Amino acid sequence: MQIDWEQIKTPFLTGFSIGGVVIYYLKGLIDNHFKKTVQTRSDKRDLAKEIIAICTEAESSNYQKPARNREHVIGLANNSLAYDSYLEDLIRKYDTVWFITANVFNRTPRPLGQIEFYRELEKEASHLSKDIKQIVNKWLR
């Protein structure tokens, strides 16, 4: 009995060819997925560092000075929307409270009611800052 190698070789080569193409395609998908994951983590960490810097800027002045660049703070809020909509809301509230607190503090005639109002705003900003940092610190792990 004689074995016809041509009949055996053709299905094997076809199977290996198709298998090779499928493996090559799957490898590309997996590599692409991991590249996107690594890039997303990197972007999230960079955003987290910027948000912490903004919170530090506000806290270091006791919310008495407005943000150096308010557009940047709003831009960070917009960028955080891609990862967490709740964080975006917190940053917007934080920016508003910080802005109002700085304006209340910088008024020259300060009646007693405004000082109390300033203290309440300062507490609110401090709580918002803690909440923001709590969310963002998870991104840095």
Listed by start position, the domains of the chain span 44-139
pLDDT grade, residue 92 (50/70/90)? very high
Q: Which of 94, 103, 96, 101 is nearest to 127 (CA)?
A: 94
User: Angle CA(45)–CA(51)–CA(106) in degrees, nearest 5?
Assistant: 170
Q: Which of 42-51, 52-61, 104-113 has the lowest mean pLDDT?
A: 104-113
Residue 79, pLDDT > 90, answer yes
pLDDT in tens, 41-56: 889 999 999 999 999 9
Which residues have a Cβ under 8 Å from the Cβ of 81 and sit 6 or more positions away? Answer: 88
Is residue 68 helix, strand or coil? coil
**Amino acid code (one letter) for 106:** N
Confidence of residue 25 (pLDDT cuts 50, 70, 90): confident
Give the whole-angstrom CA distance, residue 3 versus residue 29: 40
Specify the residue for token string 């009646």.
111
* Across 11-19, average pLDDT: 76
